[in-house]
């Protein structure tokens, strides 16, 4: 893999995306009702730093503000307020003075908008609806493979239940008939659809028996496969002590993975960031998108022993107990820097598209093979996985398929040494180069001792 060309193609893709995003943005503006669209732009540019449309922030929620002014003061003063709130306060307007007092004497900055601009802002604010993001993909229901097996499982279960009910009903109906016969009672003349189905089921009970038996065997087989899968960690996503989101930080805010997982290029471990790393930003960012987010950020302060009110550290720290997500057994040796630096393997190839996850999850093979479908910022994974993530088969599969760029290896590297050695052993060299690529496997990546202590 050539890292440089990969980097450049990434840059080009980024640029294309930015251009695309710009066009779709302007397109959206034109597609919407003129005033509202303009209002949204004006709101975001001038007001969003202090106001939410629908909840209080530095200033009050703006929804219904015009009505409040008409009720408590006048519409004229409403416009005046937005343009220059101080003038209305100084003029002695009681509502303006009350607002100013209620908001702890924080003056709103004068806004350079005309009446039409203010109308547009409020046209947007009044129709604003908070967007509810679709729930983040959870567990196994997101990837195709497991869904298939589990829905198959439910269909079978449903089928089995129907059969069992039919048979039981058939038995019951027939027992009742026998009982009536014995008591000399008259049999009901007309059979309802249900009854005839039951008697049909009873008359064909041999077949039903076979079907039920078959279903049970199938269920056991599916259960067995599931059970064998228990040693597999795919989709493992434990509850974490703080509702941290990769999507928000690495995706929306664009923070580099290595900013937080900073040992990944230097050591065996990627490491989870300490609370100090979070505090670099959260000392000032103390509000989340909603009260839940704010409560989660408060947990960071608790861990760091930080008092937001006095802005001082109390010294009473309480480490955050992140639950480890990826876990290889002790007898396996895995090294991050070897893969990320020497091998030039992208995090995505093993961890999937973390920019779309909240807390971390062990990706399924499906996720790893298909990231390209959901993320434009993805270079096609040459490696196609079939073995479950984190199993031995998974490592081997990648080592068999990943090529090593011997020529591109930096001077004095481990590969040059191998290269030198290979040049002396022409026969092996030729064998390795038969398919024009040298794979990690060919260089020893399949040797037991490389991965096992
Ligand atoms: C720098 C922060 C800041 C910005 C920017 C800002 N506001 Fe305000 N706004 C406030 C504060 C604070 C208050 C509460 C009153 C006070 O303390 O002066 C307020 C109050 C208001 C009110 C009165 C609300 C009510 O309930 O009656 C309106 C209307 C308003 N702002 C509109 C706007 C509009 C429209 C914009 C953008 C064009 C804007 N504000 C930009 C801080 C701001
Ligand atoms: C070749 C596959 C591969 C690549 C590439 C890779 N990882 Fe990992 N990662 C793993 C495996 C395997 C584990 C489990 C290691 C263990 O349990 O010892 C892991 C574990 C982790 C952990 C948990 C802490 C630890 O070190 O055990 C973090 C965090 C992590 N990876 C982040 C990253 C980041 C960030 C990148 C990209 C810069 C990355 N990984 C690239 C395979 C990979
Ligand atoms: C480079 C800056 C930066 C770092 C480092 C950072 N955050 Fe954040 N975080 C932010 C910003 C900015 C927001 C607010 C985003 C918003 O309101 O939309 C935020 C929001 C949050 C939220 C609230 C989310 C919500 O739904 O409202 C939580 C929880 C959080 N961060 C946890 C963490 C944790 C834990 C760490 C350390 C592992 C961390 N952050 C590190 C910048 C950072
Ligand atoms: C996405 C592909 C990929 C996956 C998955 C992967 N590796 Fe690798 N691995 C590589 C590449 C590429 C190299 C060559 C980089 C190097 O050796 O510097 C490599 C090299 C190695 C080496 C050094 C081999 C040598 O010849 O010295 C070891 C050890 C290793 N990997 C262990 C593992 C283990 C253990 C796993 C599974 C938990 C794993 N790898 C999963 C791509 C992968
Ligand atoms: C702002 C800090 C921050 C950034 C940026 C960040 N992470 Fe994380 N990462 C965390 C925290 C905190 C955890 C522990 C909670 C969890 O498991 O989600 C974590 C966990 C992980 C884990 C699982 C570790 C384990 O226990 O096995 C992986 C894998 C991972 N991150 C990969 C990435 C990748 C890939 C990126 C870049 C796309 C990235 N992270 C960006 C903070 C960050
Ligand atoms: C590329 C890395 C790699 C190589 C090479 C490798 N293994 Fe493994 N091996 C692993 C990993 C990772 C696991 C852990 C799998 C798991 O936890 O499911 C493992 C697990 C095992 C286990 C425990 C049983 C199991 O499946 O969990 C045995 C036994 C084993 N390996 C033997 C070998 C032998 C023998 C060789 C040489 C022919 C070998 N391994 C080569 C990565 C490797």
**Residue-wise pLDDT tens digits, 114-157:** 999 999 999 888 888 776 554 444 333 333 333 334 456 677 77
What token pair was written down for 67?
Answer: 């009505």
- For the cut 80, the answer to whether the pLDDT of residue 430 exceeds it is no
CA gap 117, 41 in Å, rounded: 10
Instruction: Give the pLDDT of residue 298.
Output: 94
Q: Residues 387-396: what's their mean pLDDT?
A: 92
User: Do residues 54 and 65 touch, judged by C-beta distance below 8 A?
Assistant: no
> Could you give the maximum distance between any two Cα atoms of the chain, in Å?
102
Place of tokens 């640029």: 15
Instruction: Give the pLDDT of residue 135.
Output: 46
Confidence category of residue 350, pLDDT binned at 50, 70, 90: very high
CA gap 69, 62 in Å, rounded: 11
User: Do residues 255 and 249 touch, judged by C-beta distance below 8 A?
Assistant: yes
**Residue-wise pLDDT tens digits, 290-313:** 889 999 999 999 999 999 888 889
- Provide the b/e sequence for 57-75 (b: ≥16 CB within 10 Å): eebbebbebbeebeeebee
Mutational pocket test of ligand 6: of 362, 444, 451, the residue with most ligand atoms within 8 Å of the beta carbon: 451
Instruction: Give the pLDDT of residue 49.
Output: 74
Q: At CA 404, angle to CA 401 and CA 406, rounded to 5?
A: 155
Q: Other C-beta atoms within 10 Å of 32: how many?
A: 14
- Tell which wins on pLDDT, 161 or 49: 161
Chain mean pLDDT for the chain:
78
Q: Which of 171, 78, 163, 159 is nearest to 118 (CA)?
A: 78
For the CA of 93, the nearest ligand: 1
Instruction: Give the pLDDT of residue 153.
Output: 62
- For the cut 60, the answer to whether the pLDDT of residue 68 exceeds it is yes
Instruction: Give the pLDDT of residue 315.
Output: 87
Atom of ligand 3 nearest to the CA of 243: 29
How many angstroms separate the alpha carbon of residue 436 from the centre of ligand 2? 30
Instruction: Give the pLDDT of residue 306.
Output: 92
What token pair was written down for 109?
Answer: 């900055």
For the CA atoms of 375, 377, 380, 381, the dihedral, rounded to the nearest 10 degrees, stands at -80
Q: Which of 381, 346, 377, 345 is nearest to 366 (CA)?
A: 381
Q: Residues 172-186: what's their mean pLDDT?
A: 71
User: Do residues 375 and 356 touch, judged by C-beta distance below 8 A?
Assistant: yes
What token pair was written down for 324?
Answer: 């480890």
How many angstroms separate the alpha carbon of residue 399 from the centre of ligand 4? 6
How many angstroms separate the alpha carbon of residue 248 from the centre of ligand 3? 7
- Tell which wins on pLDDT, 437 or 195: 195
């Amino acid at each position: 893999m050539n890292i440089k060309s990969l980097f450049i193609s990434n840059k080009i893709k980024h640029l294309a995306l930015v251009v695309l995003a710009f066009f779709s943005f302007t397109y959206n503006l034109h597609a919407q009702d003129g005033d509202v669209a303009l209002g949204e732009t004006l709101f975001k540019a001038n007001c969003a730093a202090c106001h939410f449309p629908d909840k209080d922030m530095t200033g009050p929620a703006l929804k219904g503000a015009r009505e409040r002014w008409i009720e408590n003061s006048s519409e004229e003063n409403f416009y005046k307020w937005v343009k220059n709130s101080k003038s209305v306060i100084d003029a002695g307007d009681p509502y303006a003075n009350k607002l100013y007092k209620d908001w702890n004497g924080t003056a709103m900055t004068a806004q350079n908008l005309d009446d039409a601009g203010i109308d547009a802002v409020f046209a947007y604010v009044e129709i604003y609806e908070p967007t509810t993001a679709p729930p983040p993909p959870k567990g196994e229901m997101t990837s195709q493979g497991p869904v298939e097996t589990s829905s198959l499982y439910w269909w079978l279960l449903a089928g089995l239940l129907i059969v069992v009910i039919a048979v039981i009903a058939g038995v019951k109906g027939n027992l009742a008939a026998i009982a009536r016969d014995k008591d000399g009672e008259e049999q009901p003349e007309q059979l309802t659809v249900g009854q005839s189905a039951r008697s049909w089921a009873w008359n064909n009970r041999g077949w039903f028996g076979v079907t039920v038996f078959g279903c049970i065997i199938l269920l056991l087989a599916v259960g067995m496969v599931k059970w064998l899968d228990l040693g597999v960690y795919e989709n493992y996503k434990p509850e974490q002590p703080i509702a941290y989101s990769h999507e928000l930080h690495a995706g929306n805010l664009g923070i580099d993975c290595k900013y937080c997982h900073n040992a990944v290029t230097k050591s065996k471990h990627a490491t989870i960031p300490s609370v100090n790393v979070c505090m670099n930003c959260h000392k000032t960012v103390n509000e989340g998108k909603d009260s839940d987010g704010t409560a989660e950020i408060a947990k960071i302060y608790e861990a760091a022993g930080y008092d937001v009110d006095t802005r001082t550290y109390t010294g009473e720290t309480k480490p955050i107990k992140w639950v480890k997500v990826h876990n290889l057994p002790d007898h396996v040796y895995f090294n991050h820097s070897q893969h990320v630096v020497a091998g030039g393997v992208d995090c995505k190839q093993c961890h999937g598209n973390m920019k779309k996850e909240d807390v971390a999850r062990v990706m399924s093979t499906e996720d790893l093979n298909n990231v390209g479908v959901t993320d434009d910022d993805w270079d096609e994974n040459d490696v196609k996985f079939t073995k479950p993530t984190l199993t031995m088969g998974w490592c081997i599969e990648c080592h068999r398929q990943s090529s090593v760029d011997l020529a591109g290896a930096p001077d004095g590297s481990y590969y040059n040494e191998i290269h030198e050695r290979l040049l002396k052993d022409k026969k092996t060299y030729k064998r390795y180069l038969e398919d024009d690529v040298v794979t990690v496997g060919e260089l020893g990546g399949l040797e037991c001792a490389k991965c096992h202590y």
